Amino acid sequence: FALQNEIREALLFNQFKLYYQPQVDRTGRITGAEALIRWLHPERGMISPMDFIPIAEESGLILPLGNWILDAACQQLIHWKQNPLTAALTLSINVSARQFQQPDFVTQVLAAVTRTGANPHQLTLELTESILATNQQDIITKMDALKSHGIKFSLDDFGTGYSSLSYLKRLPINELKIDKSFVNDILTDPNDAAIARMVIRLAQSMELNVIAEGVETQRQRDWLEQEGCLHYQGYYFGKPVGAEEFLR
Ligand code: G
Ligand code: G
Ligand code: MN
Ligand code: NA
């Protein structure tokens, strides 16, 4: 309960900040970023989302927090618009299952877009396979509604959770994200290599974009390129950083 109250206060006192991790294409050019939230606590320093997102989800605070994230991300797109170097970047934001399951989720996302004037075509929502456990028609209806405004969807941590391949085919998804747990050992673990290869082939045959996360070395990147994965995210290209450092 203590942490719950602190999250509430942190929202009130503006202690959250979005960090941005670059996403690059095969030429190394930055095409976009993933927004990753940080809590800049006045006494405890920087707190990882792994330590507060689960509590925010349990307590329902993920709803106001999720709206704050949507707003902050859209505002960042507006900032980027003012600089030719960043004007065309896309921004991926993580959406919790609980947030997505709200009846007014579509309304909330579109409200943030309208309020800020952000271009919805530059916005990607990262969903995890955990959302797939709920009512299929409800998910498809929501995704279609947002898609009709130009918003895209990426399936995060792909391969780590619950997913039926036949179901995947019915969802209006644009991108699969190869989980970093597979990328980590692609060069040494034949099983991880096989899974990564399978995700790439699946994306290719379903005409989906595929991006590998957690790329830490040139050799991992080269292996992925050779297998046909042409978009990457990971420490090798850049860690998540504040907006000022991201611009630099
Ligand atoms: O950078 P990293 O340590 O940021 O993130 C840890 C975990 O927290 C990841 O699983 C990530 O998906 C999650 N996370 C980071 N930022 C957000 C966010 O803005 N919203 C949600 N729902 N989860 C986030
Ligand atoms: O949203 P998701 O669960 O995919 O969150 C991505 C997580 O991976 C974040 O915690 C982010 O900081 C982390 N991350 C990003 N790039 C790398 C990397 O190259 N190596 C490792 N170990 N973690 C990474
Ligand atoms: Mn993510
Ligand atoms: Na992931």
Listed by start position, the domains of the chain span 2-247
Query: How do residues 8-27 score in pLDDT, each as one tens digit?
Result: 999 999 999 999 999 999 99
Q: Is 129 in the pocket of ligand 2 (CB under 6 A)?
A: no
Residue 129 has pLDDT above 90, yes or no: no
Ligand 1 pocket test, candidate residues 11, 16, 36, 92, most atoms within 8 A of CB:
36
Q: Nearest 5°: phi and psi at 43?
A: -105, -40
Q: Could you tell me the pLDDT band of residue 115, with boundaries at 50, 70 and 90?
A: very high
Q: Which residues contact 2 (CB under 8 A, 6 or more apart)?
A: none
Judge if ipTM > 0.90: yes
- H helices of 101-155, in order, are 105-116, 136-147
Whether pLDDT at 2 is above 90: no
For the CA of 96, the nearest atom of ligand 1 = 22
Domain 2-247, architecture per CATH: Alpha-Beta Barrel (3.20)
C-alpha closest to that of 174 among 195, 146, 200, 203 = 203
